[in-house]
Structure 1
């Protein structure tokens, strides 16, 4: 009989952004338990050097390993670029990363013009740069480093007027916005998908890597153990490196709101625990 690993699925990001991924994971595997780590004291990762991001990721992995995580999702495009390969070499359980949905966007848009919005570090990483260069031989890809956008989302919240103002500033040099598709290459940007839609011409397709990451997570868990299906709803534990009560409560509210927007799983059925862990302060 196939062994069922009852350990939680770990998820981490530099801040609130990964909550959009966490919500999709919960919807796909509602009986599983999850631990979400938000590293707000070191955010944003997109402004750090790759080695710094790797060091923070290793700190999160130590915490999740002690929690007997059966898989870990790096819910951050920047951390995936900087740390995924090293983490997979170090740990035996599945580690799943994010990848900007450039390929799906190109496949659906044909020969259209694609905008890829991401952090500066993600756009500079060799793997991503090679992907864009390869695709751009046949397609028109424009990259947009969104400096400062993550910080504004973190400080003011996804639905704030400050976010709308920053988006308008970032997109202004690209006017007129004649794109067939826009790829959101950062999980924070997925939290403000409605603002992107409002800022772009009607009919512009928006793509993100969440769906692909969820499918890959399920596939890798099934290869190593099995997905829990016959229990009651799983539990979600939220942690933040700041140990700040307000941030933890805000994370809970954002998760509940994301689940409400998606309308697949009722947040009322979900047990959400706010936890503090001093090990996170050592990163």
Structure 2
């Protein structure tokens, strides 16, 4: 069994936005990231398939020494997190669209959410929405096609820009002043999204909040490798600037070359991913 680590898992490469935030908050922790790119996106798959796949990945991570697992995937969280917490004894950290933050910040009273079909149609998301929206209007828009462009590292494709216009413009016409990035892939096209929404709309990315919560959870369970004295991320989604990457391993079920290019171009990290159908650690 390998040295204890924190597992971070997404259907593809999008969860690297969460990994980046976690590394900033917990720079001394060993992190193992699994991108299930061969099966991305999860958003259009059946509930039973997602449940089985997520459980298999978490089981693999736990068996190899994970002391906690972060589901850096909104769809996996929406479908599987409750059963995972019943099945496994290690802490399972979930990610959810930052609707609460958007509602607190809105001045127009209209908030937009973009995410996968699986996330936005899930019972968990609908329950969250019903609990939080109150007097604020929340416009939810499923955005099929975006994840595929991001996974292929085609961030400047005209087709991607056309989809963003198609999905976001109707919400702009309804008066949103907050747009929740309800998929961990979407921070990597933040610049393209800003070209559509302009300066009048704030983007809400929950990655920083997840990293902060993970830090607090590990402390409460006595699972931190060392006590972290650096300040937590104060602003959600702030870009991470890791000082060293020797304690990070990236595993992908997809193309290693594509993952390596994505890491370099979109994350700014020089790392060589490992190929495996399920996480296999060296």
Quick one: distance in 1 between partners of 2:110 and 2:277? 47
Find the counterpart in structure 1 of residue 120 from structure 2.
Answer: 123
Residues 251 and 87 of structure 1: is their aligned pair in 2 closer, same or farther, counting only changes over 3 Å?
farther
Find the counterpart in structure 2 of residue 16 from structure 1.
Answer: 13
Q: CA RMSD in A?
A: 2.4
Quick one: distance in 2 between partners of 1:97 and 1:176? 32
Q: What CA deviation, in whole Å up to 9, does each residue of 1:229-275 have, x standing for no partner?
A: 48995511111113x33134234325xx43x5xxxxxx57xxx4522
Give the drift of 1:61. Answer: 1.1
Q: What CA deviation, in whole Å up to 9, does each residue of 1:63-83 have, x standing for no partner?
A: 211320111100011100111
Give the drift of 1:9. Answer: 0.7
TM-score by length of 2: 0.85
Higher helix share: 1
Quick one: distance in 2 between partners of 1:67 and 1:126? 32
Q: For 1:219, what is the secondary structure of its paired residue?
A: helix
Contact kept, 8 Å, 1:109 with 1:180, in 2: the verdict is yes
Q: Could you tell which deviates more after superposition, 178-187 or 164-173? A: 164-173
Quick one: distance in 1 between partners of 2:154 and 2:46? 25
Give the drift of 1:184. Answer: 0.7
Residues 158 and 25 of structure 1: is their aligned pair in 2 closer, same or farther, counting only changes over 3 Å?
farther
Quick one: distance in 2 between partners of 1:216 and 1:191? 22
Find the counterpart in structure 2 of residue 136 from structure 1.
Answer: 133
Q: For 1:10, what is the secondary structure of its paired residue?
A: strand
Moved over 6 A (4+): none
Contact kept, 8 Å, 1:31 with 1:228, in 2: the verdict is yes
Q: Could you tell which deviates more after superposition, 232-241 or 181-190? A: 232-241
Identify unmatched segments of 5+ residues in structure 1: 261-266
Give the drift of 1:159. Answer: 4.1
Q: What CA deviation, in whole Å up to 9, does each residue of 1:165-192 have, x standing for no partner?
A: 2211222444526211111100011111
Tell me if 1:274 matches 2:273.
yes
Report matched runs for 1:73-112 at 5 Å.
73-110=70-107, 112=109
Tell me if 1:237 matches 2:249.
yes
Give the drift of 1:110. Answer: 4.8
Find the counterpart in structure 1 of residue 60 from structure 2.
Answer: 63
TM-score by length of 1: 0.85
Quick one: distance in 1 between partners of 2:222 and 2:132? 36
Find the counterpart in structure 1 of residue 260 from structure 2.
Answer: 249
Contact kept, 8 Å, 1:63 with 1:279, in 2: the verdict is yes
Identify unmatched segments of 5+ residues in structure 2: 229-242
